Structure 1
Amino acid sequence: MYRRTFLAAAGLMLARPALAQGTALRIGLITPPAHQWSKSAVALAARITERTQGAVALSVLPAGQLGSESQMLQQLQTGALDLAFLTIGEFANRDAEFGALLAPYLVPDIAAARRLLEKPAAGTLLARTAALGLVGLGFGLAGMRQTLLRKPAATGADLAGRKIRALPLPQELDFWSRTGATPTPLPLPALYDALANGQIDGMQIDFEGTWNSRYFDLAQEMLASNHMMFPMLAVASGRRWKTLPEEVRTLVGAEVQASLTEILDAYQGIDTTYRSQIEAAGFPVRTVGAEFFGDAVPAWYDAWRAKTPILTQLEAEAGRA
């Protein structure tokens, strides 16, 4: 099991002398308030306040209030930010091994993704956050990645030349290039306008984001491709963490673990719920598998097994090998 072992928070009484002046913490996220990560962060803050009778206060700063994830990671490194829920992207850009978690069709669904993130390879990656000046507290997830299109694609060949919004990560960009599409990185706040004005022809997105941001109002088809999982890392600032009293570290660590469990539990139903709502709105959703993308998937694996050796371990643990 990769997760750090924390003492149970229930009944824990914090040492008042260490907290005489109170402890103020902040957690940053890029997700909007309606997103599950943000909602779980708010619940996390409430639990910490209750457990400590207000001695420790956690402020939740969603929707990129502190800047991009790159900027938040820098703030964590300097100790200017205490905690964050960050997408896998910022880690993959600094250490390619993290990007192996974005392997196409590595897992078929959220349940399998959750199991994989509890196995040794993920634990190895969690430990590598220390090299970035962080304390890895655990993994969470968002929904499986789907493909939203302004115009339908009968076959994978129809993606040729289409501008598909993707994250600026080597593994993700390479996958879409191999499909024949043109991967087009754009920040999340720019997606609605970019889809509306034709700057992009589609996007890699999950059902939750598609529903909450009404992207489907600007599109004609959603491919339920489930082609990638999308991990999240809960991290603390290494500099800030070591200055906190042991009692605070124990409690915050345990409560973050509770939040990650809440997130993982939620996403086993979120994809189904939001897909149903999108379909109920009359929008066409079509299920496709790896074969839809032709040779792109096996070609991707041939290239990335050599570049990121941990991929082979992940494949074995996922039962894909």
Structure 2
Amino acid sequence: MKNSRATTFLAAGAAIALGLTACVGDEAEVDDGEAEAADSDELRFAHVYDPDHPVETCGVPAINDAMEDSGLQINSYAAGQLGNEEELLEQVQSGALDLAVAGPSFLGVWEENAELFDATYLFSDVDHFEETLNGEIAEDIWGDLRESSGLDVISSWYYGTRQVTSDVEVTTSDDLSGQTLRVPEAPLYQTMAEILGGSPTSMALGEVYLGLQQGTIDGQENPIPTIASNSFEEVQDYINLTDHVIQGVMVVGNEEALSGLPDDQQQALRDASQEAADEVRECIEDEEESYLEEWEESGEIEINDGVDTDHFRERAAELIPNEFEWGDIYLEIQED
């Protein structure tokens, strides 16, 4: 196993089945509400997003509400308290953690085809994203992931649509020629920068504001809530609505451990996680809309909705299939 700490944890007998912690207390010392919580088995759920991110504020309460009568309860660890996405997946794979939230590129470490769901211009809109992630192609890929790693994707949540901020107005890839564009450090994102026309450079998200302010980088790309939470509108002139990645994150458990739950609890968890997907999407879309309205009113950053997305989509269809093994699946989804 990759995570030696997780192996030690399990060998010591600290995790039983799904690592469920029976919250059993002395009923003489707790009130009725605490006694009710004590009757629930606790699932440890972890992610890297801030406590005010919709994954935490919308997703976690929705799961717990939907599982109210199941005997299960989510206890969430936000903001990377238990590790980064790679580390969280290792803990889930080993059985030391019950559930984690991770993106397709991280799942691609375990099953290469999984990373395609982060590909540029894969989806036409959020409905297409949902249909695909709940359809046969995703089911086949998640099946291969379970077989190769034991990681079980139980639902996919909309994370946001990535947009480009810059000090130049972007209509086609020519406009970003010679511009340094910060992207996440992964081959898929390097290709994305090429599609957009910029020169890719990697930089920690926490360093991007200063990089933009000092001119070390010329632009960056992220979903609107991330752009707002990092105040990039203060140091960029334009937000260009490129819609270049309609992105999701996945709720992932350990297949063997999940199968150890009673059938009704397994189904309750999967149903609740899917209900939470609807809540998270609504919250993310509300934030995307409200931030754009706020910026339009304030004029703090100019909103460019004149991007030639057909131009970029054609470039993606030309470049991506030749760069990645899953190129044929990409074209199948894109043309759907």
TM-score normalised by L of structure 1: 0.81
Measure the CA separation in 1 of the matches of 2:205 and 2:254: 25
Q: Is the 8 A contact 1:48 1:56 kept in 2?
A: no
**Aligned residue for 1:214?**
231
Kindly indicate whether residue 269 of structure 2 is the aligned counterpart of residue 252 of structure 1. yes
Q: What is the number of equivalent residue pairs in this alignment?
A: 298
**Aligned residue for 1:224?**
241
Q: Is the 8 A contact 2:60 2:276 kept in 1?
A: no
Kindly indicate whether residue 74 of structure 2 is the aligned counterpart of residue 58 of structure 1. yes
| 1:59-78 mapped onto 2 (5 Å cutoff) | 59-78=75-94
Q: Which moved more, 1:276-285 or 1:91-100?
A: 91-100
**Aligned residue for 1:10?**
none
**Aligned residue for 2:156?**
139
**Aligned residue for 1:119?**
135
**Aligned residue for 2:319?**
300
2:52 corresponds, among 24, 34, 46, to 34
Q: Is the 8 A contact 2:47 2:102 kept in 1?
A: yes
**1:223 Cα deviation (Å)?**
0.5
1:86 corresponds, among 80, 97, 102, to 102
CA deviation vs aligned residue, 1:96-132 (integer Å, no higher than 9, x gap): 3223223332333223322332322122223233022
Measure the CA separation in 2 of the matches of 1:185 and 1:243: 41
**Aligned residue for 2:330?**
311
Q: Is the 8 A contact 1:76 1:134 kept in 2?
A: yes
Measure the CA separation in 2 of the matches of 1:46 and 1:312: 38
Q: Is the 8 A contact 2:173 2:195 kept in 1?
A: no
**1:78 Cα deviation (Å)?**
1.0
Identity %: 20
**1:224 Cα deviation (Å)?**
0.5
Question: Which amino acid in the other structure matches residue 180 of structure 2?
Answer: K
Measure the CA separation in 2 of the matches of 1:241 and 1:280: 48
**Aligned residue for 1:129?**
145
Q: Is the 8 A contact 1:145 1:226 kept in 2?
A: yes
CA deviation vs aligned residue, 1:147-200 (integer Å, no higher than 9, x gap): 011454565323223222222332221121344422223343443343334343
Measure the CA separation in 2 of the matches of 1:65 and 1:289: 41
Uncovered stretches (5+) of structure 2, i.e. residues with no partner: 1-20, 25-39
Measure the CA separation in 2 of the matches of 1:177 and 1:165: 12
**Aligned residue for 1:12?**
none
**1:59 Cα deviation (Å)?**
1.4
Q: Is the 8 A contact 1:149 1:203 kept in 2?
A: yes
| 1:4-19 mapped onto 2 (5 Å cutoff) | none
TM-score normalised by L of structure 2: 0.78
Q: Which moved more, 1:270-279 or 1:190-199?
A: 190-199
Question: Which amino acid in the other structure matches residue 39 of structure 1?
Answer: T
Partner of 1:230: helix, strand, or coil?
A: strand
Select the structure with the greater relative contact order (CA < 8 A; seq sep ≥ 6): 1
Question: Which amino acid in the other structure matches residue 114 of structure 1?
Answer: E
CA deviation vs aligned residue, 1:124-146 (integer Å, no higher than 9, x gap): 22323302221110211112111
